[in-house]
Amino acid sequence: MATADIHITEETHHDGHEHDHDHHGNFWTTYVFSTDHKMIAKQFLITGIFWALVGGTLSVIFRLQLGFPEAQLDWLKPILGGWITPEGKLDPEFYLALVTMHGTIMVFFVLTAGLSGTFANFLIPLQIGARDMASGFMNMLSYWFFFVSSVIMLVSLFIETGPASGGWVIYPPLSALPQAVNGSGLGMTLWLVAMALFIVSSLLGGINYISTVINLRTKGMSFAKLPLSIWALFLTAVIGLLSFPVLFAAALLLIFDRSFGTSFYLSDIYINGEALPNQGGSPILFQHLFWFLGHPEVYIVLLPALGITSEVIATNSRKPIFGYKAMVGSILFIAILSFVVWAHHMFVSGMNPFLGSVFMLLTLIIAVPSAVKVFNYLTTLWRGNIRFTPAMLFSIGLVSFFISGGLTGIHLGNSAIDIQLHDTYFVVAHFHLVMGSAAFFGMLAGVYHWFPKMFGRMMDAKLGYIHFWLTFVGVYLVFFPMHYIGIAGYPRRYYSFTNYDTFNSFSDLNTLVSVAAILTLVAQIIFIFNFFYSMYRGRKASANPWQSNTLEWTTPVNPGHGNWPGEIPTVYRWPYDYSKPGAKEDYIPQHIPFSMTPESNLPHENDMIKLEGDGTKVVVDEKK
């Protein structure tokens, strides 16, 4: 009952503002506790950028250790204090903490919240033609849970025993026993609390994204006319909704083991001169639960980036995305398969080898829809009329990373080969390219592309080009050499390789990687400057600067609360009518009816003209 009332008041509220769409809120309701999806998207974006800088800086610190093992790091003492040993070296336990927090921050806080949070919030209502999310209030809660989670995670970096340091996968018993590593004390507790809040945030957001896409599409916006970005964000939310609760369960059982003496994951343990009473638990159980989220998480990170890329590549090639149905089909297929491949992370965990065979088969199947996506991107570029906007450059970069990193997945998905490569730098190279860098590039492409809609101004293109080329070359220089290091057998998460003759031959490549990592991080300052400078001083944007077809470009330059000042436009066609033969312009936006474009209609589209009229009538009848 109460919800219904609120709904009605909101409706009238919007009507009242139809001609004066400036939302007169004070500072707090406009910028802080906003329920406007666009503001929430910006909140997620800025928080995501902050976390990306933190995560990137952490990685540079441990790259210093790996690239320059002999270097004196005394100069870091003012920042890191006791984590620099008296000899001027990085503390080995802090090294593990850095690796752990870098992974956690990048995977969850940057590439899940920063990417999905930003673009699902921003694009879903704008591209499907809705005034806002299904529940603006839940949406606001989603951000603030994320914010609290962020604060707790950030605090954990500064406590005396250090943040969690059992790897981002937090495998017990290491993560369950403070005796095993200092980070498993308070640091791990804060990690678990932060992640629990994070999951709440992502579920609140996900439910909203799903219900908005299903219920609030504008007239004519059938699922078959949805932009691929929405398809990707929609299915991402579905994946998240199904898998995050499993991580929550895993974390909860771990909390029980840590604090209440249960033995879900613990058995037969003797540590620090003492045999623990726990018996009957299984560390493997945790791995199954963790990767039941952990693997879909890869696609939670990647799919939105692929969706954004589809949009950007089609717009800037001035061509329809090739094989729209196949693209939707492959996202759907990937989404389903993502739930049945998790144990390929566990080939050598000691689980039954037969499971290994099954998961190897399922894992390699997932390469097929991925290959289809790549070929479709390539064909979209073929005979296009390509405009290299910064967003387009980052999208092309994404496709390159997706190819280069995806192919090594065929090695790792093969359980026999994985015996040798598991937990070596080969894995690090693989996932940083295919999911880390690709998703990161998707995020940057999205920012460059939708910045004009977010802030009404353009980002500087030339700075964008410089940013792209430095980052693109930098990322390849960081991660490509790691393949060789991995084939040579170097295990990951090693503080130092100096006591192994076999692992002591790549100090040159390791130095190269570290230098490239530092330069890549520094190059991001160009982006940060461009982003904040353009927000206030950038060139004023036009309503549709990229001459794109999707609905968000039919809003005013600075859309107010409710997005469209008048009626929400009706959708008549798919979003990819670029360079249609016969058309005057090389793009026809989705809200242009076929009756207005007789010169370019295909035969079956001429038949649709009749339905256009009927369609309005039917809807009018329904309203009565």
Partner 1 sequence: MFEVIIAIGTILLVVILLTLFRIGTLVNVVKGTDKKVVGSSNRINAALMIVFMLSGLGFFFWYSFTYFDKYTIPVASVHGADIDTTFWITTAITAFVFVLTNILLFVFSFKYQHKEGSRATFFPDNVKLEILWTVVPAIVLATLVFTGLRAWNNITAPASEDAEVIEVMGYQFAWAVRYPGVQDNQLGDYDFRLINDKEGNLFGMDVTDENSYDDFVPLEMHVPKGKEVLLNIRARDVLHSVFIPHFRLKMDAVPGMPTHFKFTATKSTEEMRSELGDPEFDYFITCTEICGRGHFSMKLKVIVEEPEDYEAWKAAQPTWLKLNSDYLEKVPADKRELAIIKAGIDKEELEASL
Q: Which of residues 331-390 bind partner 1 (CB under 8 A)?
A: 348-350, 353, 356-357, 360-361, 364-365, 367-368, 371-372, 374-379, 381-388
Tokens describing residue 40: 């929430």
Asked if residue 408 binds partner 1 (CB under 8 A), the reply is yes
Alpha-carbon distance values, 54 to 44, 449, 568 (Å): 15, 24, 40
Tokens describing residue 91: 């503390």
Q: Which residues contact 260 (CB under 8 A, 6 or more apart)?
A: none
How close are the terminal C-alpha atoms of the chain, in Å? Answer: 23
- Choice between 501 and 614, CB closer to partner 1: 501
- Choice between 361 and 619, CB closer to partner 1: 361
Report the residue from 80, 180, 515, 519 that binds partner 1 according to the rule CB under 8 A: 180
Asked if residue 284 binds partner 1 (CB under 8 A), the reply is yes
Minimum CB separation of residue 623 from partner 1 in Å reads 34
Cα distance between residue 543 and residue 458, in whole Å: 11
Q: Is 383 left (phi over 0), alpha (psi -120 to 50) or beta?
A: left
Sign of CA dihedral 163, 166, 167, 172: negative
Asked if residue 188 binds partner 1 (CB under 8 A), the reply is no
Minimum CB separation of residue 341 from partner 1 in Å reads 13
Compute and round to an integer the Cα radius of gyration of the chain.
25
- Choice between 255 and 407, CB closer to partner 1: 407
What residues between 547 and 576 interact with partner 1 by CB under 8 A? 547, 576
Cβ atoms of 161 and 183 within 8 Å: the answer is yes
Residue 213's nearest CA partner among 125, 305, 140 is 125
Minimum CB separation of residue 4 from partner 1 in Å reads 43
What residues between 74 and 103 interact with partner 1 by CB under 8 A? 92-93, 96
Residue 47's nearest CA partner among 142, 126, 130 is 142
Minimum CB separation of residue 182 from partner 1 in Å reads 8
Strands (E), 449-594: none
What residues between 25 and 44 interact with partner 1 by CB under 8 A? none
Angle, CA 29 vertex, CA 26 and CA 34 arms, to 5°: 150
What residues between 203 and 262 interact with partner 1 by CB under 8 A? none
Minimum CB separation of residue 141 from partner 1 in Å reads 35
Report the residue from 493, 507, 557, 605 that binds partner 1 according to the rule CB under 8 A: 493
Eight-state DSSP code of residue 403: H
Report the residue from 480, 515, 519, 595 that binds partner 1 according to the rule CB under 8 A: 480
Cα distance between residue 344 and residue 469, in whole Å: 34
Minimum CB separation of residue 578 from partner 1 in Å reads 7
Cα distance between residue 217 and residue 215, in whole Å: 6
Count the neighbouring beta carbons within 10 Å of the beta carbon of residue 319: 21
Residue 439's nearest CA partner among 238, 310, 300, 231 is 300
Cα distance between residue 567 and residue 18, in whole Å: 9
Cβ atoms of 519 and 466 within 8 Å: the answer is no
Asked if residue 501 binds partner 1 (CB under 8 A), the reply is yes
Only segment of 146-154, 414-422, 439-447, 611-619 that touches partner 1 (CB under 8 A): 414-422
Cβ atoms of 538 and 460 within 8 Å: the answer is yes
Residue 485's nearest CA partner among 532, 540, 428 is 428
Report the residue from 326, 336, 470, 609 that binds partner 1 according to the rule CB under 8 A: 326
- Choice between 151 and 602, CB closer to partner 1: 602
Asked if residue 590 binds partner 1 (CB under 8 A), the reply is no
Minimum CB separation of residue 443 from partner 1 in Å reads 20
Cα distance between residue 492 and residue 485, in whole Å: 10
Minimum CB separation of residue 496 from partner 1 in Å reads 6
Asked if residue 527 binds partner 1 (CB under 8 A), the reply is no
Only segment of 139-147, 278-286, 429-437, 553-561 that touches partner 1 (CB under 8 A): 278-286
Minimum CB separation of residue 572 from partner 1 in Å reads 16
Report the residue from 69, 178, 245, 491 that binds partner 1 according to the rule CB under 8 A: 491
What residues between 126 and 165 interact with partner 1 by CB under 8 A? none
Asked if residue 167 binds partner 1 (CB under 8 A), the reply is yes
Asked if residue 593 binds partner 1 (CB under 8 A), the reply is no
Coil, strand, or helix at residue 271?
Answer: strand
Cα distance between residue 321 and residue 329, in whole Å: 14
- Choice between 150 and 182, CB closer to partner 1: 182
What residues between 419 and 458 interact with partner 1 by CB under 8 A? 419-420, 422-424
Minimum CB separation of residue 350 from partner 1 in Å reads 4
Report the residue from 6, 252, 271, 611 that binds partner 1 according to the rule CB under 8 A: 271
Peptide bond preceding 545 in cis form (omega within 30 of 0): no
Only segment of 9-17, 266-274, 588-596, 608-616 that touches partner 1 (CB under 8 A): 266-274
- Choice between 47 and 287, CB closer to partner 1: 287
Size of the site for partner 1 (CB under 8 A): 118
Minimum CB separation of residue 280 from partner 1 in Å reads 8
Tokens describing residue 543: 């309503």
Asked if residue 496 binds partner 1 (CB under 8 A), the reply is yes
Only segment of 140-148, 242-250, 290-298, 416-424 that touches partner 1 (CB under 8 A): 416-424
Minimum CB separation of residue 250 from partner 1 in Å reads 15
Strands (E), 507-600: none
Torsion of CA 411, 414, 415, 416, to 10 degrees: -70
